[in-house]
Structure 1
């Protein structure tokens, strides 16, 4: 049997720091990523756990400028519609937030879940089929942490229409469901506090409000 590595106290502290400094980046530099880095990050993402070892993640690297513009336009339309849900100070705060890196991030990746994959033969999905998408989210978090460890930031764009993104990217597989659209690049500035906290949108919940004991 292989000998596992020893994760000493220094590593544990660095890992905690990585968790704290992993931020949803909205302000990117336009500097391109080094050749091969994006593929390396995506390969690391595939080390994530998945239900029944189903590995349902599907990554689409979006390089075509026409596709990027169409996705940017879809975001803009959805963002204007979302603004209508708020009024007063909340509306002003929402309008002031930069909710995407679509204008500057050098790399963009659409992440899909193959919801009908036969890999894993359905193990663990009988009562909770949504675990396939949970597995994809786990791969995204793995990607996020690996990127942050190398000084690369990620922003998750959720204010888009999944069906329109599939159409724009010519994804013809009916079983592929959009889970995330990611902007990837070097952040303009670094923070260990989420932007939505810093801008007064929502504070972190106290720990004791998130844990129940029975």
Structure 2
């Protein structure tokens, strides 16, 4: 089988895709059509996985009570994070919008089954974390596909994984890797919001090899 050739134009568009893949926190409230969401999931499942184990488990959180419970957990964890800061750092942190939980029409929790029968354990003997990393690859693939479709994704990490897993009543052996807000972005940008708000900047030195 002959692999496809990728043109210079495609290369430029691919780099544009990576620049425009942003962590979105400001969403419109209109829902993404079901076939579009299904297509994003199908594309995510093209991601590589250790031993072809496909350990990712994408859970759509549609129940209003469960979504409120996750929102309350975020508020609790965020308040603790703010209390741990002081001075100007606390003031800067308080001004950040760190989640789109209220406005995003879709919530997606992504879990990793870290001991799946699929894959028969190949590649996990010395590095068992590869199942989690495989799930992260699927999340990133989902995110890129969403960007192509004009859909925004925001990763909510200021939550308690154990509490949220219990709220969603999933297999106790699954590990919560990401809680995603999904919907159409209000203000698309090719620059990270944290950079626009002066919280942090990219480090050019990361683009250089560390040689040993």
What does residue range 122-141 of structure 1 map to in structure 2 within 5 Å? 122-141=121-140
Partner of 2:23: 24
* Alpha-carbon distance in 1 for matches of 2:88, 2:191: 22
**RMSD value over aligned CA atoms?**
1.1
What does residue range 17-96 of structure 1 map to in structure 2 within 5 Å? 17-96=16-95
Q: Over residues 45-94 of structure 1, what are the superposed CA-to-partner deviations in whole Å (9 max), with x where a residue is unaligned?
A: 01000011110000110000000000000000000001122111111111
* Alpha-carbon distance in 2 for matches of 1:36, 1:200: 38
TM-score by length of 1: 0.96
Shift of 1:36: 1.6
SS at match of 2:34: coil
Where structure 2 has 5 or more consecutive residues not aligned to the other structure, the ranges are none
Shift of 1:211: 2.9
Q: Over residues 153-196 of structure 1, what are the superposed CA-to-partner deviations in whole Å (9 max), with x where a residue is unaligned?
A: 1000000011111111111x221000000000010001111111
* Alpha-carbon distance in 2 for matches of 1:29, 1:89: 31
TM-score by length of 2: 0.97
* Alpha-carbon distance in 1 for matches of 2:152, 2:185: 6
What does residue range 1-214 of structure 1 map to in structure 2 within 5 Å? 1=1, 3-171=2-170, 173-208=171-206, 211-214=209-212
Shift of 1:210: 5.7
* Off by >6 Å, runs of 4+ in structure 1: none
* Alpha-carbon distance in 2 for matches of 1:210, 1:117: 37
Q: Over residues 11-61 of structure 1, what are the superposed CA-to-partner deviations in whole Å (9 max), with x where a residue is unaligned?
A: 000000000110000000101112321111011101000011110000110
Shift of 1:4: 2.3
Shift of 1:209: 6.8
Provide the aligned length of Structure 1 versus Structure 2: 212
